[in-house]
Amino acid sequence: MISAANPHAQYESHRREIDAAIRGVLDRGEYILGREVLAFEKEFAAWVGVKHAVSVANGTDAVHLALRASGIGAGDEVITVSHSAVATVAAVEMAGATPVLVDIDPVHFTIDPERIEEAITPRTRAILPVHLYGCPAEMTAIVDISRRRGVKIVEDCAQAHGARVGGRRVGAIGDAAAFSFYPTKNLGAIGDGGMIVTDDDETAAKARLLRQYGWQARYVSSVIGWNSRLDELQAAILRVKLRYLDEDNERRRGIAAKYTAALDGSPVVSPAIRGEHVFHLYVVRDERRDELSAALAARGIGTGIHYPLPIHLQPAYRGRIRDTGLAETERAARQVLSLPIYPELSAADVSTVASALAELAR
C-alpha cells in the first residue's frame, strides 16, 4: 500500500542526525526552554524572515496564543474559514473570541477575499487566513482589506511552511502567524510542537509570557498565562529537519508536477498554484471523488479527504457559529481528494500513482 503520508520515512532518511540530536539532549539533561529551543527559535525566525519566533506545545496553541498576544479576546470577532482543520476555529474560541466563517475561493480552496468585507462588523478585530494544503491565501487582497478596515491579520501557516506569495514567505506577511509541527506537516516533530512568529516586539514578548504561566520572572506571574512549551527533544529534532526543509519542499513540488502532468486533459481538477505552493497535500477535485478513491485503493494507493465535514457542520459547532454563506465550502467537502505526497515517496511509487491517475481519471 502506498500511504498518503509517511512521517516515519523522514526519520529513516535522517536517522543518524536525529539520533545524535536526541542523544545530545539526553546527555545534557536540560529539558525545558534550554539551548535547543532557543537555537531553534532563532533559526526558524531567520528561515521565515521575521524578527521573533516563540515556540509552543502545538499548532492549535500557536493560533490561540498568537491571537491573544495580538490583543484579541472576548467580544472580538475573527474572520476565518470553515474549510480547514478544526483547530483553526477551536483556537479562536480558546482565545475567547468569536469566529465568523466566510466561504472559500473554489479554485485555490483558501479564504475568498471578496467575501471578507461583507463579514466585517464593528467588533471585527482580525482576519485569520489559512494557507491550506501548502497554497498561500490571496494575501495581497487580504493585506489591503486589513489596512483599509483596521483589522489585524494572524496567519494560520500550519500547512504551508516555506510557501511564498508576493516574494515573502507565509508567516512574514500578517501581524503574527502560527505554525504546527504535527508529525505529518512539512516540518514535523516526532510528537507535537508549534511556533508563533511576528515582527512586533510587543506581540512576541506577550506570547513568551502567555506560554509559561504569565511569568515575567520565575514564580512571578504578571498576567494570566498557560503552559504551552516546546520541549528540548522536539526542538533538537526540528533543528535537524529544518536544514532539509527547502529540499523537502522542492521534492514535494516535483511529485506534484508529475501528478499534474498525468491529469492533463482529465476532468479531475489538479491543484491551482498561487505564488510558491509547498504541497503539504496534493488535493484534486472530482465530482466522482468516492469512486476515484476506491479505484485507487484497489491498486494499493491510499488517499485522504481534507476535510470530509466542514467545521460549521460538525456536532460541536453546528448552528452555533455565524457564517455568511458557505456553498463552496460544502461543495469542496464533497469533491476533494488528497493523493500520496511526502518527500521520501519513491520515484517508483510516484510513477505508480501517476499512471493510475492517467488511466482512471478520465
Ligand X SMILES: *Cc1c(COP(=O)(O)O)cnc(C)c1O
Q: How far is CA 289 from the centre of its chain?
A: 24
128 is a contact residue toward ligand X (CB under 6 A): no
Give the nearest distance from C-beta 85 to ligand X in angstroms.
4
Nearer to ligand X, 109 or 259 (CB): 109
Q: Reduced to 3 states, what is the DSSP secondary structure of residue 169?
A: strand
Please name the residue that has the C-alpha cell 469533491: 335
Closest CB to ligand X among 59 and 171?
A: 59
As measured in angstroms, the least distance from the Cβ of 347 to ligand X is 28
> Is 158 or 262 the residue whose CB approaches ligand X more closely?
158
- Of the candidate residues 10, 55, 58, 203, the single one contacting ligand X (CB under 6 A): 58
User: Which of these, 283, 291, 87, 106, lies nearest to 179 by C-alpha position?
Assistant: 87
Instruction: Record the cell numbers describing residue 41, joined without a space.
Output: 527559535
**Please, what is the minimum distance in Å from the beta carbon of residue 51 to ligand X?**
23
* C-alpha cell read off for 262: 498525468
* CA atoms in the 13 A half-sphere facing the CB of 164: 10
281 makes contact with ligand X (CB under 6 A): no
From the centroid of its chain, how far is CA 305?
Answer: 16
d(CA 262, CA 335): 19
Query: What is the rounded CA–CA span in Å between residue 29 and residue 27?
Result: 6
To ligand X, the closest distance from the beta carbon of 66 in angstroms equals 11
Q: Closer to ligand X by CB, 130 or 235: give it.
A: 130
Q: Identify the residue among 41, 77, 155, 156 touching ligand X (CB under 6 A).
A: 156
Tell whether residue 136 is a contact of ligand X (CB under 6 A).
no
Window contacting ligand X (CB under 6 A); options: 7-15, 53-61, 117-125, 269-277: 53-61
Instruction: Give the Cα separation of 268 and 270 in Å (integer).
Output: 6
Length of the chain equals 362
Q: Please state, in angstroms and rounded to a whole number, the distance separating the CA atoms of residues 83 and 60.
A: 16
162 near ligand X, rule: CB under 6 A = no
Cα(159)–Cα(182) distance, integer angstroms: 10
Spatial distance between the Cα atoms of 334 and 288, rounded to a whole number of angstroms = 9
One of 158, 163, 209, 354 touching ligand X (CB under 6 A): 158
Q: According to CB under 6 A, which one of 80, 88, 98, 146 is a site residue for ligand X?
A: 88
Of 55 and 98, which has the nearer Cβ to ligand X?
A: 55
Stretch that binds ligand X, among 45-53, 112-120, 155-163, 207-215 (CB under 6 A): 155-163
User: Residue 239 or 350: which CB sits closer to ligand X?
Assistant: 239
Judged by CB under 6 A, the chain residues 200 through 259 that form the site for ligand X are: none
Residue 98, interface with ligand X (CB under 6 A)? no
The answer to the question of residue 129 lying near ligand X (CB under 6 A) is no
Site for ligand X contains 333 (CB under 6 A): no
DSSP codes, 57-116: SSHHHHHHHHHHHTT--TT-EEEEESSS-HHHHHHHHHTT-EEEEEPBPTTT-SB-HHHH
**CA atoms in the 13 A half-sphere facing the CB of 286:** 22
Q: Does 85 contact ligand X by CB under 6 A? A: yes
Could you tell me if 128 and 78 are in contact, meaning their C-beta atoms sit under 8 angstroms apart? yes
What are 135's three cell numbers?
A: 497554497
Q: Is 84 in the site for ligand X (CB under 6 A)?
A: yes
Shortest spacing between CB 276 and ligand X, in angstroms:
18
Residue 80 in the binding site for ligand X (CB under 6 A): no
Q: Does 179 bind ligand X (CB under 6 A)?
A: no
**β-bridge partners, 78:** 99, 126
Stretches 4-12, 153-161, 213-221, 331-339: which one binds ligand X (CB under 6 A)?
153-161
Residues contributing to the site for ligand X (CB under 6 A): 58-60, 63, 84-85, 87-88, 130, 156, 158-159, 180, 182, 192, 194
